[in-house]
Amino acid sequence: MSERKHISPIGQEGLYVLDTASWRTHRPVMDKNTCVECGICLSYCPVNSIIFNDENKYEITYNYCKGCGICAVECPKKSISMVAEGGEDHG
Amino acid sequence: MSERKHISPIGQEGLYVLDTASWRTHRPVMDKNTCVECGICLSYCPVNSIIFNDENKYEITYNYCKGCGICAVECPKKSISMVAEGGEDHG
Amino acid sequence: MKEIRLHGRGGQGVVKASQIVVKAAVGAGGYGQFIPFFGVERKGSPVFGFLRLDDKAIRRNMQVYEPDILLIFDDTLIELPSVYEGLKEDAVVIINSKKTIQQLNIPSQVREVAIVDATAISLDIFGKNIPNTAMLGAFAKVTGLVDKEILLDEIAAEFGEKNRTAALDGYNRVQSTQLK
Amino acid sequence: MKEIRLHGRGGQGVVKASQIVVKAAVGAGGYGQFIPFFGVERKGSPVFGFLRLDDKAIRRNMQVYEPDILLIFDDTLIELPSVYEGLKEDAVVIINSKKTIQQLNIPSQVREVAIVDATAISLDIFGKNIPNTAMLGAFAKVTGLVDKEILLDEIAAEFGEKNRTAALDGYNRVQSTQLK
Amino acid sequence: MNYIQTLRTAKDVVTPGMSACQGCGAELILRRVLQLAGQNTIVCVPPGCLGGSGVVGWDYQTGMEIPVHIPLLTNTASYLSGVSRMYQRKGRGDVNIVCVAGDGATADGGFQSLSGAAERNEKILYICYDNEGYMNTGFQRSSTTTLGSHTSTTPLGSVISGKEQQQKYLPLIMSMHNLSYCATASPSHMADMVAKIEKGLAWSKEGFAYIHMFSPCPTGWLYDIDQGIQIARKAVQSNFFPLWEMENRKYRMTYDNKKPISIADFVKDIGKFRDLSEQDLAAIQSMVDDRYEKLKKLSSEADCNE
Amino acid sequence: MNYIQTLRTAKDVVTPGMSACQGCGAELILRRVLQLAGQNTIVCVPPGCLGGSGVVGWDYQTGMEIPVHIPLLTNTASYLSGVSRMYQRKGRGDVNIVCVAGDGATADGGFQSLSGAAERNEKILYICYDNEGYMNTGFQRSSTTTLGSHTSTTPLGSVISGKEQQQKYLPLIMSMHNLSYCATASPSHMADMVAKIEKGLAWSKEGFAYIHMFSPCPTGWLYDIDQGIQIARKAVQSNFFPLWEMENRKYRMTYDNKKPISIADFVKDIGKFRDLSEQDLAAIQSMVDDRYEKLKKLSSEADCNE
Amino acid sequence: MGEIKAMTGNTAAAVGAALSRPDVIAAYPITPQSSVVEYLSDLVHNGSIASTLVATESEHSAMSVLQGVASAGGRAFTATSSQGLAFMYEPYYQMSTMRLPMVMALVTREMISPCTVWGGQQDAMSVRDAGWIQLYAENNQEIMDMIIQGYLLSEHKDVLMPVNVCYDGFYLSHLVERVDIPEQSKVDAFLPAVSFDHVVLDPLRPMAVDSLTSGEVLMRYRMSHLEAMQKTLDVLEEVDEKFYAAFGRKYGGAIEEYRCEDAEFVILTIGAMTGTARDAVDYCRDNGTKVGLIKLRYTRPFPQQRLIKALAGKKGFAVIEKSVCYGWNTGPMYVETRSAVSETLSGLSHFSAIGGLGGADISLNHMISVIDTLQASLNTPGQKQTLWLVKE
Amino acid sequence: MGEIKAMTGNTAAAVGAALSRPDVIAAYPITPQSSVVEYLSDLVHNGSIASTLVATESEHSAMSVLQGVASAGGRAFTATSSQGLAFMYEPYYQMSTMRLPMVMALVTREMISPCTVWGGQQDAMSVRDAGWIQLYAENNQEIMDMIIQGYLLSEHKDVLMPVNVCYDGFYLSHLVERVDIPEQSKVDAFLPAVSFDHVVLDPLRPMAVDSLTSGEVLMRYRMSHLEAMQKTLDVLEEVDEKFYAAFGRKYGGAIEEYRCEDAEFVILTIGAMTGTARDAVDYCRDNGTKVGLIKLRYTRPFPQQRLIKALAGKKGFAVIEKSVCYGWNTGPMYVETRSAVSETLSGLSHFSAIGGLGGADISLNHMISVIDTLQASLNTPGQKQTLWLVKE
Ligand SMILES: Cc1ncc(C[n+]2csc(CCOP(=O)(O)OP(=O)(O)O)c2C)c(N)n1
Ligand SMILES: Cc1ncc(C[n+]2csc(CCOP(=O)(O)OP(=O)(O)O)c2C)c(N)n1
Ligand code: SF4
Ligand code: SF4
Ligand code: SF4
Ligand code: SF4
Ligand code: SF4
Ligand code: SF4
Ligand SMILES: [Mg+2]
Ligand SMILES: [Mg+2]
């Protein structure tokens, strides 16, 4: 810490990231079969955990998804279901 | 001053009054003949120098009248005229 | 004076639990003190707190650096170096876990480890993981530092009768192992 | 150092006049200082100010208690006890008045009284009673403390040419009487 | 009793000699408000021309025959909230809790305090006398100063001339605060003003009542001292200062202006508008028209376009 | 490009792991606003749930990939005014100067600063996420909290139950400030929200742009964490949170609500409204109807009753 | 003895306030103060107390509302911290110069920047020259007791000044421990209803409050304020004695001395850290070190005479503070303590110790290190370098 | 030598600011400061300077705007007084803890209540512990010069703190006297364009400004702030020397000693009263009294070492102040001076003198009375009663 100058309090040594995936008790799982690729889930995900992937598909990522279930509620096709997180694996 | 307590700054030793009559360069003079007793001048005088006197007449008082001339301008009958203050007599 | 450090995650009721312990201690005519550590994060982040129990007034007003007892609400926390830090010789560790002692990396100073699956108890009773009252039961059993009945009454008064059951379950189901 | 106290009424231009004197003094390479006294009232209330002139830097920063010169912009003010207060021995009084010396209650220390009807001059020239520039002219004449031409130029620059005339009138029409 | 009868019998509780300038609109407003409020009143006059004119007192003397306090420029409404709450507690809700505050104390420095008190619906009558500037400190611009006005902080200059922003129209802003009563008033329309002060006093027993008053200022605006009422009248006639009120959530125009005069006509004898650019004039006119239209819409009865 | 296409390509500049609660409406708002603003942006997030959620950083780390500052609760708009003025001076008016501020920072503690910046027409996009309370400090009432809501300072009690005042409806108040752009938006109506953010960014190059956003809060309002968008939708459908905008001084409803649902319907699954009295419910309904009527009038084209 | 309960410092403050029967409570939430007013809100909403609650839009307004309350003759209560205190600074200052009584719980916290929400005493120290009485509590019992004492002191006819009861954010505000709650009836006897009437806004007794005042007259008000502050040094001891008579607890007045009689040198502490320091003193005493402790309870008025007496004959002292004095490279109370005892300072060894800023912990080890450092320096009199109590 | 003109202190401040080429000027009017910004408004509206003017709705916002300006790399100027300072206290404090450079003309004025608009130094003194550099000017020349010096100091890489140039309301703000105006080109050479970049809000260099900070880290920032403040004691002397080289005037750094060398005792003064004190010293010297004068120019940082040196061997001192320290029954700088020289205080005679509050005058007679009182007390060392400089 001693080389740091401590003049004004600024943060520029990388991004401060919390492991929010560990909060999840349930994880959203997308049913590719019924999904109509409307993107509504992406638009409502507060965490931006749903992406439009390289294969031009909507996909749920689990690194930060907090498991709120909003995507599941909002999917017009009910293609997302919330599944209890098993054991110790937190995403 | 020494018997005063000087706790909170309060004023209750009489009214603070400025001699605003001395500001006047012109004084309003009411022409009783043309006046129709409408009271408009009273309603507009910022100093409340126009009173409704014991004889039920509107009357200009000069103790504090600042000589703004608003009464003269607003009188619908032009019954008030502004007369230059003479000499050293300030009302 | 016994110095106890609590480790848990936001949402597990660490603060409330500790307050209950102090209340129980005070209710029994003793002295207790609890200082929560306030970080910035919400739900899920590691939280900790400092608990002291004594039969005379507690004066020091500071964190616990060398705990006599550790109360760990979530066994994933043992990966943090800070959790086992500073433990006194002959310390007692009470932990919510399904794991075995071997899996828990218990440091050498520890005299006694008590394991209780408070999460299971809590899921059973409330349908969600709020292991605090079960942990309190275990704490009462293992340390004997608070009067069981007074504690149960405080718990019931604060959280309702279901929690009395959870605490009792914790009391009954905790498994203690002497290491020394 | 000459210490001068000015007395006037709000609206008569006491402050501006004094500033001009300081400017004229500074313009001539000398030193001057003016401190206005700020009361709460607006138009018509007594105002005063403190003027110092010297040929070296003026350091004191305070009111004038014992003036060498009094400059009175309104002769109704002499009724206030504060006006003649503290006058030095051999003081000079310059006053805007139509009155005679006898009517002015001049105190005994005063060496010289100069009377000028600055109000009349001002009414003549501007149609209203702003006696300040005429007073300045009188001041220059009576005291010789500021250079007349520099003063007139400053006045003209600040207030316009009409005021130069007023000042000149003041200069020419002031009547000085030596009492000692 | 018509308004003149009311006024001629209502006792003036303010010192007869106060130092507001000759022809000051604010002095007129203060006296009218307190005449109508009467002796059973506590009044605050924050820093500003009125607060600085001797009506609070000097040293050990007072400037009024009723309790008066000069609060901070920034807290009139909250200070009075405290006073009002105490009078509710004392069972003396009949006491009028009033302030007469400038536009600076109201729309600028004390605006947050005002907005908060309005939201809490405190039992207060809040009168703002709007002379469009900080007159007491030397005629600087305030947020209510009209576009293009010359003030001591928005002087006539070769690069920028006058104020660059439109005025903040506080009465509409306040009327959006769930007030009990909200109105505008002009001293030129004295009957209307008297009626509104009376209503405001009555409503202040229920909750927050706000009246925004046009307050002509000869010294700061640079016009002849006898012209204040004339100017106020033109302000109303040009829709620069429309008269309206909101009572029971309903808006009502209290002066129906069939044939408005132009803003050019309104500004022409006012010194602070000398050298108003064509552009500024047009912008003010358009703002005024727009505002008037808004008010008309708000005060319309029917749901018109459904 | 429709709004979903826009969103799926717009980079998220906020740390992926921030500590806002599960299902937090404010997190959604923050990410959407900054995705659309992009890298050429300076953002302020005042104290509040977002400011406290790690997006400003911790010790030596930052919470965003763009410059971010946490100003005071009381000065967001003025702080940003200074930043904005400097960027004008630098000839870099293209930089977005944005804040995402809670209702407390906006309508209460920082309201005066906001009102001042709006009056000065500072080139800023000001986003308020309104979760109707001071959530960060423990769910206390704010001025935007709805009547009857239970909060930690307006608890359910035997003498007083819930908040005693109607909510302060900030968007209308702000729209009366001569803004460049003013709008309301709800995350439930995402296409509308995206369009408004884009407009707001564009308008912020001309002057002050303000968007008031409905921000559901499961933790403070007490509803299930997956219900946020549903609740937001009902807020719009019940006219509790009407969608509208004001552009070029013209008001426009952006969601024409032909058949509003009732307020009773809106409040029913929200814990903070449990035990709402009949009276409170009626009062809210009436306030909402009144407000909607006002908005309709303001957005009507014709001068209807002349 | 009243009821005994375990509670946080914030609850203790709220209970103390409730027992004092304030007319109006106005406040604005801020960490770590918020639960004080939440607790009181519960009491009001449940009708348990008859106070009026005003939830303002900011601290500036909270203090202003209470100024209105006090000048209409009411008893006022609020609580705040750091930024809240800073934002109310203008009416805060005026509250004292209007000589209006009230009690404010000041839950002390560090000032930003850097952004922080944690403890420290910087907020209170930075505004110590605003004319308020400021005192610091060591534990939750003292918080509750001092709020009650605070009203008696504040409303005392020779005092008439607002009182800050300061206590450490988190380290007391959120700390749970046992507290003996005074009985309401006894509190009522101890603390009679409001009787001050030097300022009253009342149409039945019209007066101008705060008329414009000339400098010479203003000086009289300042003199009287300063005199009352000095007088407070006596009154606060009286109040403490009275409290003792009523409730059986007393705190020693402006300072408390702990094991000082035969001490060779002493440490000075403020607020919650004192408890830890007591343990440290006992520990060092056990090891033969003749150290004593002075707990600075009141910082305004500054108890100069009592400090002179307490430090007489000592060889050194250190002042431990949770705040800095930017202009001095020491803590502020170090500067003032040194000034207080300056007549007899020469020959003493002394220094400023600073710790606990922004929520940092002051540990037993820190306390012992202060004692050790001081002891080691006793034979070389003079000021020693400021000791920063950082993590080892 | 530049152009010589007679002007008020406020004009001098405005000219000094204009010469420093600020990017943004934001301010709110208050007596007696208003004409500073009016003058600058004229310059901006006439295109004489290229600064941006922001007329805010309050001082709180004025300071906040400037905080935004400085954190976007701009040079900022404002001016205020008393209540304005109080109302901006929250961002004022943060300006220093963010270590953002700027200069503020603080036209000192008494604090209300009682209601007053006149001079005094209470406003500045009451906020002296908010982390700003504070210095006081004696006359209009010094006002102008110190604003220019202030920027160089404030932006110095070892300083990086905002600077208050304080001067007496009315007694300087409205006093007209001659001032030698530095040439713009010379000022430009003396004061280069802004170069600080420790904080920059810029998308080209993203950083978090004011991330939430733990206590241990926060302590580092405070340490560094205090160290910079101490370092400032050297830098300010350097800046003064540099200024001398450029403009031929210097002020002696943190304090100025006047006829002290052979003085038996000294008086300490702050701001405009110093001029009167000089006359008083000369007068008393002429009468054979060996009195000297110390002008306290910087109060933050407090020049402890220089005072120790200056007071060495003296038999007594009095500190004359236009403000009170409520907790002490003396002036605040008396408390601190006494603390500063405490090692050698014993044997000295000393007291606090208070005058000039709320616009009251401090006269030559007052100054002489301080000198006489001090001289009379020299043979009885120790603190003497506070001397109130009221009207006889
Ligand atoms: C916090 C604060 N800032 C500035 C001032 C100085 N001040 C006193 S009165 C005033 C102007 C008030 O303007 P307004 O309310 O419109 O009243 P007016 O003078 O126009 O009557 C100002 C800025 C103050 N008293 N307090
Ligand atoms: C002057 C001041 N007072 C109080 C606070 C404490 N505080 C921090 S966040 C906050 C609540 C903000 O509420 P809001 O803006 O609605 O954001 P939310 O927490 O709801 O997201 C408060 C009161 C503060 N930071 N500054
Ligand atoms: S909302 Fe449903 S249907 Fe649409 S993309 Fe997501 S999962 Fe597929
Ligand atoms: S559960 Fe919530 S956080 Fe996870 S992907 Fe769905 S909406 Fe996003
Ligand atoms: S001149 Fe003015 S003050 Fe005098 S009576 Fe007429 S209106 Fe009143
Ligand atoms: S306004 Fe004219 S007509 Fe009417 S009462 Fe007055 S003087 Fe008479
Ligand atoms: S300046 Fe204007 S508002 Fe102030 S007293 Fe004079 S006329 Fe009235
Ligand atoms: S409390 Fe509400 S607003 Fe705050 S983070 Fe949680 S859900 Fe979001
Ligand atoms: Mg005004
Ligand atoms: Mg909120």
Long-range contacts (CB closer than 8 Å, 24 or more residues apart) made by D146-153: D146/D21, D146/D24, D146/D25, D146/D28, D146/D53, D147/D24, D147/D27, D147/D28, D150/D24, D150/D27, D150/D28, D151/D20, D151/D21, D151/D24
Strands E209-214 and H387-389: unpaired
pLDDT at A89: 40
Pocket test for ligand 2, best of G83, G109, G110, G115 (most atoms within 8 A of CB): G83
Q: What pLDDT does C40 receive? A: 62
Given this model, what pLDDT does residue F302 score?
Answer: 55
CA distances from E303 to C35, E249, E251, E256, E289 (A): 60, 15, 14, 20, 21
What is the rounded distance in angstroms from the CA atom of residue B2 to the CA atom of residue H42? 49
G190 with G168, same domain?
yes
N- to C-terminal Cα distance for chain C? 22
Domain termination residue (choose one: H206, H226, H247): H247
Count CA atoms within 13 Å of residue D28 on its CB side: 23
Look at A42 and F58 and tell me if their CB atoms are within 8 Å. Answer: no
The total of structural domains in chain G comes to 2
- CA distances from residue F88 to F70, H52, H200 in whole angstroms, order as listed: 22, 10, 15
Ligand 6 atom nearest to B34, measured from its CA: 3
- Given a contact as 3+ CB pairs under 8 Å, which chains touch C? A, F, G
Report how far residue E43's alpha carbon sits from residue E99's, in angstroms, rounded to the nearest whole number: 5
Q: Which amino acid is at E276?
A: L
**Which run of H or E residues covers position E252?**
strand E250-253
Phi, psi of D32 (to 5 degrees): -150, 160
Residue ranges of alpha helices (H) inside chain A are 40-44, 70-74
Domain limits for position H260:
255-388
pTM of the entire structure?
0.98
Ligand nearest to the CA of E26: 7
* Cβ B68 under 6 angstroms from ligand 5: yes
Mark which of H187, H218, H247 sits at the end of a domain. H247
- With cut-offs at 50, 70 and 90, classify the pLDDT of residue H330: very high
Please answer whether residues G107 and G119 qualify as being in contact, where contact means their C-beta atoms are separated by less than 8 angstroms: no
Mutation to test the G interface, candidates C62, C63, C85, C146, most G Cβ within 10 Å: C62
In percent, how much of chain H has pLDDT > 70? Answer: 100
Whether the Cβ atoms of residue H255 and residue H296 lie closer than 8 Å to each other = yes
Helix (H) or strand (E) holding G26, with range, is strand G24-27
Residue H67 sits at the vertex; the CA angle it makes with H199 and F98, to the nearest 5 degrees, is 85
Query: In chain A, which residue's Cα lies nearest the Cα of C129?
Result: A25
Retrieve residue H193's tokens. 């364009």
Residue F225 CA to chain centroid, in angstroms? 19
Asked whether B59 and B27 are in contact (CB, 8 A), the reply is no
Task: Supply the DSSP symbol for E104.
Answer: I
Ranges of chain G with pLDDT below 70 = 1
Continuous H helices in H156-290 = 184-190, 215-247, 273-286
Could H115 and G359 be called an inter-chain contact, meaning their C-beta atoms sit closer than 8 Å? no
Average pLDDT over all residues of chain G: 97
Judge: C32–G178 Cβ closer than 8 Å, yes or no: yes
Are residues H203 and H274 both part of a single domain? no
Residues of chain F above pLDDT 90, percent? 97
Tell me, yes or no, whether G279 and G223 share the same domain.
no
| Identity of residue E20 | A
E3 touches chain B (CB under 8 A): yes
C128 touches chain A (CB under 8 A): yes
- Does C39 touch chain A if contact means CB atoms closer than 8 Å? no
DSSP conformation class of D157 = H
Q: Please, are residues D61 and H175 in contact by the beta-carbon 8 Å criterion?
A: yes
In chain H, the residue whose alpha carbon lies closest to the alpha carbon of B9 is H114
Cβ partners under 8 Å of residue F124, min gap 6: F77, F80, F81, F84, F97, F98, F99, F117, F204, F208, F209
Counting as low any pLDDT under 70, the low residues of chain C are 39-44
As a whole number of angstroms, the distance between CA G255 and CA G238 comes to 14
Q: CATH code at H268?
A: 3.40.50.920
H352 and H238 in a common domain: no
Distance F135 CA to ligand 10 centre (A): 5
Phi-psi region of H382 (alpha: psi -120 to 50; beta: other; left: phi over 0): left
From B37's Cα to the closest Cα of chain E, the distance in A is 11
For B13, counting Cβ atoms within 10 Å of its Cβ (0-12 exposed, 13-18 middle, 19+ buried), the class is middle
Chain A interface includes C76 (CB < 8 A):
yes
Contact across the interface for G276 and C34, Cβ inside 8 Å: no
Residues H93 and H233 in one domain: yes
Ligand at shortest distance from the CA of A58: 3
d(CA H100, CA H131): 11
Structure tokens at F12: 């998220």
Give the pLDDT confidence of H216-255 residue by residue, as tens digits: 999 999 999 999 999 999 999 999 999 999 999 999 999 9
- How many C-beta neighbours within 10 Å does residue H216 have? 16
d(CA G315, CA G322): 24
Q: pLDDT per residue over E72-81, tens digit each? A: 999 999 999 9
Per-residue confidence (pLDDT) for residue D40, from 0 to 100: 62
DSSP assignment, residue A87?
A: T
* Domains annotated on chain C, with CATH: 2-178 (3.40.920.10)
Closest atom of ligand 7 to E50 CA is 5
Q: Which residue has the higher pLDDT, F62 or B2?
A: F62
Looking up tokens 């719980």 gives: G105
A74/F61 Cβ within 8 A? no
Question: Which among G219, G247, G275 is the end of a domain?
Answer: G247
User: For G62-98, how does the pLDDT look when each residue is reduced to its tens digit (9 = 90+)?
Assistant: 999 999 999 999 999 999 999 999 999 999 999 999 9
Ligand 8 centroid – CA F280 distance (Å): 25
Beta bridge partners of residue F161, listed in sequence order: F156
For residues G33 and G131, state if they share a domain.
Answer: yes
Sequence-ordered strand ranges (E) for chain H: 3-8, 24-27, 52-55, 76-80, 103-108, 133-136, 163-168, 176-181, 208-209, 255-258, 265-269, 291-296, 298-300, 316-321, 349-355, 382-383, 387-389
Residue in F247, F185, F250, F187 with CA at minimum distance from that of residue F211? F185
| C38 vs F: CB within 8 A | no
Q: What is the mean pLDDT of chain B?
A: 92
Mark yes or no for CB contact E297/F306 under 8 Å: no
What's the whole-number mean pLDDT along residues H357-368?
98
CB F18 within 8 A of CB H212: no
* Residue nearest atom 24 in ligand 2 by C-alpha distance: F73
In chain G, the percentage of residues whose pLDDT exceeds 90 is 99
Q: Which domains does chain F have, with CATH numbers?
A: 3-302 (3.40.50.970)
**Closest ligand to E226 CA?**
5
Together in a domain, H262 and H213? no
Chain D nearest C-alpha distance from E155 (Å): 18
Cα–Cα distances in angstroms (integers) from residue G248 to residues A39, C26, G186, G245, G297, in the given order = 71, 20, 12, 6, 19
Q: Could you tell me the domains of chain A?
A: 27-84 (3.30.70.20)
D46-54: strand order across its sheet: D175-178, D112-116, D92-96, D69-72, D2-9, D46-54, D31-37, H176-181, H3-8
Q: Is D39 on the interface with E (CB under 8 A)?
A: no
Would you give the distance in Å from CA A3 to the centre of its chain? 37
Distance (Å, whole) CA E223 – CA E295: 29
**Tell me, what CATH number does G209's domain have?**
3.40.50.970
The full length of chain H comes to 392
Same domain, H314 and H237: no
Same domain assignment for residues G70 and G22 = yes
| B62 Cβ below 6 A of ligand 5 | no
Residues G321 and G298 in one domain: yes
Instruction: For residue D20, give both structure tokens.
Output: 């001009």
Answer whether G252's CB lies under 8 Å from G309's CB: no
CB B72 within 8 A of CB E227: no
Q: Which residues have any ligand 3 atom within 6 Å of their CB?
A: A 30, 35-41, 58, 75, 77, 79-80
Please work out whether the CB of residue F219 comes within 6 Å of at least one atom of ligand 8: yes
For ligand 8, atom 6, the nearest C-alpha belongs to F21
Give the Cα separation of E187 and E25 in Å (integer). 7
Q: Are E105 and E67 in contact (CB under 8 A)?
A: no
Q: What is the pLDDT of residues D3-16, one digit of tens each?
A: 999 999 888 889 99
Q: Whose CA is nearest to atom 6 of ligand 3?
A: A41
| pLDDT-derived band at F304, boundaries 50, 70, 90 | very low
pLDDT higher than 90, residue B2: no
The answer, yes or no, to whether A and H have at least 3 beta-carbon pairs within 8 Å is yes
Q: Is it the case that residue A88 has pLDDT exceeding 50?
A: no
Nearest-Å Rg of the Cα atoms of chain E is 19
- Altogether, the residues listed in chain E come to a count of 306
3-class secondary structure, D131: coil
- The nearest CA of chain C is from the CA of G362 a distance in Å of 6
The alpha carbon of E118 and the centre of ligand 1 are apart by a number of angstroms equal to 21
pLDDT of residue B73: 98
* Rounded Cα–Cα distance for residues F215 and F230 (Å): 12
**Chain H, window 244-273: residues with a beta carbon less than 8 angstroms from a chain E beta carbon:** none
Q: Under an 8 A CB cutoff, do G178 and C31 touch?
A: yes
Kindly give the interhelix angle for G89-97 and G215-247, rounded to the nearest 10 degrees: 90
Encode pLDDT of E105-160 as tens digits.
999 999 999 999 999 999 999 999 999 999 999 999 999 999 999 999 999 999 99
- DSSP letter assigned to residue F231: H
| Burial annotation H144-177 (CB, 10 A radius, 16+ → b, else e) | bbbbbbbbbbbbbeebbbbbbbbbbbbbbbbbbb
E235's tokens: 């302000």
Alpha-carbon gap: B45 to the closest alpha carbon of chain H (Å):
29
H309-329: per-residue pLDDT in tens?
999 999 999 999 999 999 999
Please report, for residues D61, H315, H316, H337, the alpha-carbon distance to residue H268 in angstroms, rounded to integers and kept in the order given: 16, 14, 11, 9
Q: How far is the CA of E213 from the centre of ligand 6 (A)?
A: 25
Average pLDDT on E240-268 reads 96
CB contact under 8 A, H211 and A16: yes
Identify whether residues H241 and H260 lie together within a single domain.
no
- In chain F the beta strands, taken as DSSP E runs, fall at 41-44, 68-69, 96-102, 125-130, 181-185, 209-214, 244-247, 250-253
Instruction: Tell me if chain A has a CB within 8 Å of the CB of H220.
Output: yes
Q: Are residues G84 and G220 in the same domain?
A: yes
